[in-house]
Amino acid sequence: MHISISNFLQRSRNYDASVTSKTHFRLNNQTLVTVHGPGVIEFEPVGGGDSFIYSCGIHGNETAPIEICDELVQDILKEELLLCHRVLVIFGNLDAMNKQTRFIDENLNRLFCNTHKEGIQNNERRRAAFLEQCVEDFYAKDKGEVKRVHYDLHTAIRKSINDKFAVYPYTHGKAYSLEQLAVMSACGVNTILLSHSSTATFSYYSSHFFNANSFTVELGKVMPFGQNDMTKFEKVNTTLRHLITSNDNNPEFNSEGMVLYRVNQNIIKNQADFTLHFGSDAPNFTGFQKGEIIASETGKEYIAEKGGEAIVFPNADVPIGQRALLTVVPISINELDTI
């Protein structure tokens, strides 16, 4: 292993001199390694292949995906994994990891798609700009017609009735990929939330600007470093590795067990007294009866419009003007335009 980037993640979190500037070298198996800077490392095997991005730690306390990607990087560097495809691995918010918190100044996953340019600069805004550039540079090196993939790996603030789920970024009318839904199923992710609008998330950025097959993948609940039960992520780990080490990586879609939701309401916090009308222990995808009050604030009550309408990503503590929760309703795969 190249001595300068052994234990790449730890060196990145320490801003070690070995990872703070762009460097290139080859492994013994001729894989070209590019360190773009702290927390961003690229691998290109001889022959190139498709282009995969695995990102994690966009929120610094979402540790399971960080541990999955850390082990993946170490195994590639030790040449225990022989790649068939190009891979960019991103450890997002290093400062927040070091403080074991979601973010330092701002939610990094609200700052992509050039949103980072719109306010007072801080570490998260600078990091978003850097990560955007890394993605652009990575996809710019594609050789011919290749498949572009980006899985942005997270864990949720609260538990979910469906322990693992993924958000499919808004497609602007483009067909949904059955192959990619099959990949999610292989990861043990059988609940898919179809986004209904443009956002400033990392997965939407790569999907919209680079036509990547992108998902925000939620893998259980936030836990401290070292306290994750990694047996819960065996399917995810196995699938992520298979995708980049095999040319036979196009699973067949089977709708059995797959649950799809569409967004029904996007509820924004407009007043300081915004209140959720359910307990802090209510898991994601908790359902409500039609007419039940879900949340309220001065001058407004938010009510379930349909029977079985469920809540996702509730957070009353967001700043005024940001999304406080989504409500979702089930949708059949037969209602979608798919390829």
| Nearest residue to 164 (alpha-carbon basis) of 179, 149, 186 | 186
* Tokens linked to 27: 């492994």
Which position among 42, 62, 218, 297 bears the catalytic label?
A: 218
Catalytic residue flag (residue 301): no
Alpha-helix residue ranges (DSSP H) falling in the chain: 8-13, 63-77, 94-98, 123-140, 178-186, 202-210, 234-245
Report the SS3 class of residue 195. Answer: coil
- Residue that the structure tokens 């790649």 belong to: 83
d(CA 45, CA 192): 32
Other C-beta atoms within 10 Å of 284: how many?
Answer: 25
Q: Rounded to 10 degrees, what is the CA torsion of 185, 191, 192, 196?
A: 180
Angstrom distance (rounded) from CA 5 to CA 16: 9
Which residues are catalytic, by number? 218
